Structure 1
C-alpha cells in the first residue's frame, strides 16, 4: 500500500469512461491519494493537455512525488504497481506471476478494450448505421469473455490465487460492454461461461470496484457533445 506521507497524484480523466475508471480503481485499492482533474472530450484536444498526452486521450497522470507525467492506461497501471504496491497487495514479484500479470494486462489493453470500444462506437456514435459492424464487435466481445473463462479454468482468479491488477483491469470494459449490449444481451453471452460468471459475480462486489461500476451503469451515451461527434466522424477538421 502507498505511504501515507505522499503528495496526491493527479488523474486526468473523463468519468466514467472505462480506462480512467481502470486507473482510478487501482489508485483507490492501493490507497494512493489522488485528485481527479475532469478532462472532457474537447479539453483532450487543447494544447495544454496535448503537452501531457500527444495522443489526446484519457487517462494521463502526474505524480508530483517522482515528477513523472504518464499516459496510456496500461503503462500507468504498471507504474502505480511498481511504485506503490511494494507489499504486492494486487501484484507479485516472483518471475512467473509477474509476467503472467503483464500478459493479462497486455491482453486487456490490446485485445479487450479496443473491441468493446468499437462495439460502443458502432452501436451509439457512428454517423452511418452498420448492423454488421455492431454484430462483429458484439461477437468479438463474447470471444474475449471466452478467453477469460478459459483462463479461469480450475481457479478463482487469473494469476496466483488472489485478486490482482490483471483481474481488476478487465472489469471496467466488461461492465461497459454490459452497458452497451444491455442486461439481456450480457446474460446470454455469459450463460455458457461458468468460470467467467463465478469470477464476475465475486469481483463486482469488491467495494471500490462496485462503486465505480455503478457510475458506468448510469452513463448516458448522449454525454458526448455533437461537435465532438462531428469531428470523430470526420465531418469537421
Structure 2
C-alpha cells in the first residue's frame, strides 16, 4: 500500500481512537495521527469534522471520505483496505458474525465500561449502586465472551483467525483491567477462556504499540487525570 496517501486519524489516548489505530497498524495502512485535545473536541476545526465532538474521526485523502464513530470507521477500513481478508471474512456466516461481535462491543462493552469509569472516578457524588451496576456489567460481558470462547476451537471470536471482531474489543478490556486493579477487584482465573484470548490478543505487536501509546498519553495527562480519557470518550 505504498502508493496510498496517509489517512488522517484524529484522536488521543482514549480507547476508541486506539481501536482504529490497531486496525490501521494491522492492515499496514499508512496513517497520520492528528492529536485533538479533549478541551478542543467541541471547537473548530474538529467540530466541523465530527459535529458530535467525539474522537475518533478519519479523513481519507485516497477516497475523499471523512468519517466518525469507531464502528463505522472500522467497517469502512475493512471494506476498502482488507481485500485479502487478513482481518475479515468475505463468506457467510463469518462476515455477519464479525458484525455481530462489533455491534456487541459498541453497545454492550464500551458504554458500560465507560460508565463504570465515570461513576467510580468522575461523578461528583459517590453513587455506590451505579458503581456496582457497571462493574457487574464488566464481569457479565466477560462471562459472555468466556462462554462463547469456550466453544471456539480456534480460541478466536469468529472463525479460525484473529479478526476485527477480536481487535475491536481489546483496548476497552485493557482499560477495564486498569480500573478493576485500582478497585482491587481481580477476576483472573474466573474466566479461563477469556483470559487465554485476552493474553494472545494483547501480545500482538499492533496491540502492544497501541497500549504503549495509550499509556504514554495517560502519563502526559498526569496520574490524577487519567480518568479524563473515559470522560471525553
Give the structure-2-normalised TM-score.
0.90
Stretch of structure 1 that moved more, 129-138 or 115-124 = 129-138
Alignment of 1:1-237 (within 5 A): 3-15=1-13, 17-155=14-152, 156-182=155-181, 185=184, 188-217=186-215, 219=218, 220-223=223-226
Q: How much does 1:158 deviate?
A: 0.6
RCO greater where, 1 or 2, for CA within 8 Å and sep 6 or more? 2
Q: How much does 1:177 deviate?
A: 0.3
The alignment of Structure 1 onto Structure 2 pairs a total of residues equal to 223
- Alignment check: 8 A CA contact 1:10 1:62 kept: yes
CA distance in 1, matches of 2:183, 2:112: 20
Q: How much does 1:5 deviate?
A: 0.5
CA distance in 2, matches of 1:88, 1:221: 42
Indicate the SS of the match to 2:33.
strand
- 1:120-179 Cα distance to aligned partner (Å, 9 max, x none): 111111111112211111100000111111121232101011000000010000001011
Q: How much does 1:221 deviate?
A: 4.8
CA distance in 1, matches of 2:121, 2:227: 10
Q: How much does 1:183 deviate?
A: 6.9
CA distance in 2, matches of 1:105, 1:65: 25
CA distance in 2, matches of 1:40, 1:14: 7
Indicate the SS of the match to 1:47.
coil
Q: How much does 1:217 deviate?
A: 4.7
CA distance in 1, matches of 2:34, 2:62: 17
Q: How much does 1:185 deviate?
A: 4.3
Indicate the SS of the match to 1:189.
coil
Indicate the SS of the match to 1:173.
helix
Give the structure-1-normalised TM-score.
0.89
Indicate the SS of the match to 1:36.
strand
- Alignment check: 8 A CA contact 1:145 1:190 kept: no
CA RMSD of aligned residues (A): 1.8
CA distance in 1, matches of 2:142, 2:26: 24
CA distance in 2, matches of 1:185, 1:97: 38
- Alignment check: 8 A CA contact 1:176 1:216 kept: no
- Alignment check: 8 A CA contact 2:121 2:227 kept: no
| Structure 2 gaps, min length 5 | none
Indicate the SS of the match to 1:62.
strand
| Structure 1 gaps, min length 5 | 233-237
Stretch of structure 1 that moved more, 106-115 or 38-47 = 38-47
CA distance in 2, matches of 1:43, 1:113: 22
Q: Which runs of 4+ in 1 moved over 2 A?
A: 183-186, 188-191, 214-221
- Alignment check: 8 A CA contact 1:172 1:213 kept: yes
CA distance in 1, matches of 2:209, 2:72: 24
- Alignment check: 8 A CA contact 2:119 2:130 kept: yes
